[in-house]
Amino acid sequence: MQLIDQRDWAWTLYADGERRYLSVLCGTIASYELTLELDAGERARIGEQGFVDALASEVAYRPDSYKARHVAGFRAAD
């Protein structure tokens, strides 16, 4: 597992071979992390300026819409 990029207190992007995972900080008073495995279309857009920020913002503001995609038990190697 390799850390690709991150924005403090917002999101972290990881790579595991060809797979990409986006961990997003969600919540207001109680914070929690929601981690998604990016699909092929999302992986293709990673290099577009602002794409990851926009996706992470969408996840943070609408976490219920993304809970079905959450990778339960996700832990990046230290």
Strand partners, 36: 22, 70
Q: Assess contact for 11 and 23: CB atoms under 8 A.
A: yes
Give the total number of structural domains in the chain. Answer: 1
Q: What is the pTM of this model?
A: 0.91
The answer as to whether 77 is a domain residue is no
- Residue 59 domain flag: yes
Q: What is the predicted pLDDT for the residue at 38?
A: 98
Residue 75 within a domain: no
Asked if residue 63 belongs to a domain, the reply is yes
The parent domain of residue 42 ranges over 2-69
Q: pLDDT 10s per residue in the chain (78 long)?
A: 999 999 999 999 999 999 999 999 999 889 999 999 999 999 999 999 999 999 999 999 999 999 999 999 887 765
Instruction: Please report which helix (H) or strand (E) contains residue 43, including its range.
Output: helix 40-45
Query: Residue 74: inside a domain, yes or no?
Result: no
The tokens of 19 are what?
A: 């797979």
What pLDDT, on the 0 to 100 scale, is given for residue 75? 79
